[in-house]
Amino acid sequence: MTDASLTTDTIAIEVASLERELSEIDMLITQARTEAERHENKRSQAAERFSVLSDRHSDQKELVELANQVALLTRRASMMEAQVEVLEGKRKTLTRFRDSLTTNAGILSEASNGAAAADEPSTDLDAGPLPPALSRIVQTAQEDLRREIARAMHDGPAQSLTNIVLQAQIVERLLARDPALAQAEVQLLIGMVQQTLEATKSFIFDVRPMVLDDLGLVPTLRRAARDRGRRAGVAVEFESIGADRRLPVELESGLFRILDEALAGYLSLAPDSLSLRLDWTDVVDARVTARRAGDEPLAEAEPEPTAPSKKSSKDLPPALAAMMEQQKADERAAAERKRTRAIAKLPPDAWREIQQRASPLGITAELLHGGGSLRVSLRIPGAVAAEQPA
């Protein structure tokens, strides 16, 4: 059995595994939607009853209990809806990954069959490595994807939902003993739910921003720049010049990941400002530049009114001439140190990740200004003009 057939069999096994995972996710989505609808129906009934009793000016204790019940049911319904969003995002990501594996398996199978039919015993497939894109997908994509999703789910929404469940249990115990205290805990629960919803939306965006499929690269990068800048407390200036276009899916995704990685890398250095600029012609040219205070060109020193010429410097005592040269050297060294400290250099791990993503897609990436600026360019392969959102 050849390496090609082994690789094809491995892909087939992975596709079957993904199919099983997608079936489980579909089942979980159905259950979560059913629970969300059930909680929403209960919430609607409780809210209607609360409205009727309020009009009748009923007992305040009963009204407080009903209000707490409405708030609790609202949070539970929101939790279920958030879980549905997370599961749908995961299903969409795994579906694209499955389709990509299936497509590449077909390409590899055709290449293997064509090589076997040839008279020459040695084929291009056996003689060299697999295509970079296919090799990257088979060897790293699935494990990286699963590891990223698992870590993000554990540290983000899963942990937050656990805290919400504990808080809901606290509220449930307090309702029977001290409704007033329970009301304060309900407000805390509401804040926790809101934070979890925001974290869940951010998680879905990081896994695969849906706006990238719907609207394209520019709106997605604009949102990424705004959200990342807000979380880091750094103003991110975004500018797109020219008519943006829809690119092939793999190029659009690759460009977004590269530029988003650059934004995250530079923001980790806490620069004073960060800019992302795209220029659209037959080539899309993007540049991410970070600046710190003092990154502006240094002002030129005023000329010394009595600077000695070469002829007069010979007349100076050697010690004085040496002291003046040393002073000038110290000033140049100080200016260079100041310039170096002012550069927010892209972290090495981010630069390696960008290079690994860019190379298989034919994207050119280069660091400028000592690492303080990243330039990414790609020739557009017959892209169709994008429809501008209203």
Helix axes 179-207, 60-117, angle to 10 degrees: 20
Confidence of residue 294 (pLDDT cuts 50, 70, 90): low
Nearest to 128 by CA among 143, 111, 110: 111
Question: pLDDT tens digits for 8-22?
Answer: 777 777 777 778 888
Q: Which of 206, 237, 268 is the last residue in one of the domains? A: 206
CB 245 within 8 A of CB 386: yes
Nearest to 87 by CA among 137, 130, 23, 138: 23
CB 239 within 8 A of CB 276: yes
Question: pLDDT tens digits for 96-130?
Answer: 777 777 777 777 676 666 555 544 444 443 445 55
Is 226 found in the same domain as 118? no
Total domains in the chain come to 3
- Give how far Cα 347 sits from Cα of 113, 221, 350, 355, Å: 45, 20, 5, 13
- Percent of the chain past pLDDT 70, that is, above it, reads 75
CB 246 within 8 A of CB 265: no
Range of the domain at 328: 312-342
Confidence of residue 388 (pLDDT cuts 50, 70, 90): very low
Q: Which of 178, 206, 234 is the last residue in one of the domains? A: 206
Question: pLDDT tens digits for 356-369?
Answer: 889 888 899 999 98
Instruction: Give 129's DSSP letter.
Output: P
Question: pLDDT tens digits for 214-255?
Answer: 888 999 999 999 989 998 899 899 999 999 888 888 889 899
Question: pLDDT tens digits for 193-207?
Answer: 888 777 777 777 777
CB 286 within 8 A of CB 255: yes
Q: Which of 206, 225, 254 is the last residue in one of the domains? A: 206
Counting beta carbons within 10 angstroms of the beta carbon of residue 382, is it exposed (0 to 12), middle (13 to 18) or buried (19 or more)? exposed
Residue 21: predicted pLDDT: 81
| Encoded tokens for 277 | 């600029």
Residue 14 Cα to chain centre, angstroms: 25
- Give how far Cα 213 sits from Cα of 142, 176, 208, 350, Å: 21, 49, 9, 25
User: Does the pLDDT of residue 387 top 50, yes or no?
Assistant: no
Residue 261: predicted pLDDT: 92
Report, as an integer, the average pLDDT of 286-306: 62
What's at 321, amino acid-wise?
A
The CATH number of whichever domain residue 377 belongs to comes to 3.30.565.10
Is 12 found in the same domain as 54? yes
Question: pLDDT tens digits for 19-32?
Answer: 888 888 888 888 87
Report, as an integer, the average pLDDT of 179-206: 79
Residue 32 lies inside a defined structural domain of this protein = yes
- Give how far Cα 380 sits from Cα of 279, 285, 322, 384, Å: 12, 10, 58, 10
Residue 123: predicted pLDDT: 40
Is 13 found in the same domain as 95? yes
Is 190 found in the same domain as 55? yes
Residue 225 lies inside a defined structural domain of this protein = yes
Residue 390 lies inside a defined structural domain of this protein = no
Structural element, H or E, at residue 374: strand 373-379
